[in-house]
Amino acid sequence: MSLDMNFVRDQFPGLKNEWAFMDNAGGAQILKGCVDNITEYYYSNNVQLGGSYDVSQAALRSYAQGRENIATFFNASMPEEIVFGPSSTVLLQFLSKSMASQFSAGDEVIVTITDHESNIGPWVWLEEKGVIIKFWPMNKETYELELDALDKLMTDKTKLVAFAHVSNLLGTINNVKEITKFVHDRGALVCVDAVAYAPHRAVDVQDWDVDFYALSLYKTYGPHHAALYCRMDQLKELDGLYHYFYGKDKIPAKMEPGNANYELSYASGAIVDYLVALGEQAGETGSRRAKLETAFKDITEQENILSEKVLSYLRKRNDCTIIGITDGNSPRRVPTIAFTVKGKDPEQICLAMDKYKIAIRFGDFHARRLSDSLDLTKDNGTVRISLTHYNTVGEVEKLLSAFDDILSS
């Protein structure tokens, strides 16, 4: 294991709590660097942007620095391709509203049954304009989205395909580059929900050639904030959501009505600072982006160890059904693990786990359509353990010991 776990855990003050946090897909612990940046902004630069005086100019530089850092996180070609907002749900609603004029009655949008509702609802809304919404089904035997099924849905009327990089219920990494090329070759755009992917692997929007790509920064070790990548040629075509005198060329401000949150945008940049530090510890001497990519390799190594410990335990139990890939070392698996236990209510399992000071979750996790399709919703959904690289082997062993007690009672 390459990560210095003492260093890692020292960067997250919330981990000094007596709880072991294994509900990270719902919201990760925040980095100390992000909190420090918020304090710095409030105490030093808490003024409106656009003034001629030096404090306003300093505030503008901080805001711009945050956007530059997050552009590095996405590997965007320029900072202006990054739109900030309060959550990925809001940003995807903004995107659908700003694209609405590009759709005509009879046009088609394809969404997936596996997505969080945040990347379904905003597109289903377009039915009011006469847009036809189609659902890309999942193979229920393999829990996979298959290109053959997508091919049967796409026509010359298909304008957009919206899908998740990782389902927050299945934990399976979809091949974004392959799917994007498949969709582009058929003349449509893609919108990718990366919320469940971004904490675990390096994002590279240029390599994947995606059009729109959204993630929640508060699930990626930052403050309660989010970012949406819009490829510049597509961003220029979006209708503005801000004041009427903000034209289409007011980029990216036209997509940030009321202004993005300055202090949280600046604070979010510390996510990249942290990943760069991890890359340096691993011996990477290249660019900040190269250090970030090295950091995610080490993060993946740590998370695979944790995933396989949990999945190995569940595989050995004949009363557990894992929803998704069952191998924790699979390169297509993130440590977001949902499962059911025969004869056990997911809610009662989680309530029992509370007594051990281990935070896990039950339900459908806003992937309601997927939960319904698997006939899970009526039984309180699934139990979900969502780990990340700051979790330890010791915490996982404590979790599994608690499961032995809870599931035997």
Average pLDDT on 100-110 reads: 98
C-alpha 323/C-alpha 339 separation (Å) is 5
Average pLDDT on 14-38 reads: 97
Worst-scoring range by mean pLDDT, 1-5, 118-122, 239-243, 309-313? Answer: 1-5
Average pLDDT on 51-72 reads: 97
Tokens of 55: 């404090």
Task: Tell me the torsion sign for CA atoms 211, 215, 220, 224.
Answer: positive
User: Could you give the 3-state DSSP secondary structure of residue 259?
Assistant: coil
pLDDT band, very low/low/confident/very high, at 248 (cuts 50, 70, 90): confident
Contact 136, 111 (CB under 8 A): yes
- Contact residues for 244 (Cβ-Cβ < 8 A; gap 6+): none
Contact 22, 360 (CB under 8 A): yes
Average pLDDT on 349-368 reads: 96
CATH number of 5-30+287-408: 3.90.1150.10
Worst-scoring range by mean pLDDT, 1-5, 74-78, 277-281, 375-379? Answer: 1-5
Residue 214 one-letter amino acid: A
Average pLDDT on 383-408 reads: 97
C-alpha 50/C-alpha 242 separation (Å) is 17
Q: Whole-prediction pTM value?
A: 0.97
Q: Do domains 5-30+287-408 and 34-272 have the same CATH topology?
A: no
pLDDT of residue 1: 56
User: pLDDT higher for 251 or 1?
Assistant: 251
Per-residue model confidence as pLDDT tens digits over 206-233: 999 999 999 999 999 999 999 999 999 9
User: Is 34-272 CATH 3.40.640.10?
Assistant: yes
| Helix ranges, 240-287 (H) | 262-281
Per-residue model confidence as pLDDT tens digits over 150-206: 999 999 999 999 999 999 999 999 999 999 999 999 999 999 999 999 999 999 999
pLDDT band, very low/low/confident/very high, at 271 (cuts 50, 70, 90): very high
Per-residue model confidence as pLDDT tens digits over 66-82: 999 999 999 999 999 99
Q: Give domain limits for the chain.
A: 5-30+287-408, 34-272
C-alpha 131/C-alpha 128 separation (Å) is 7
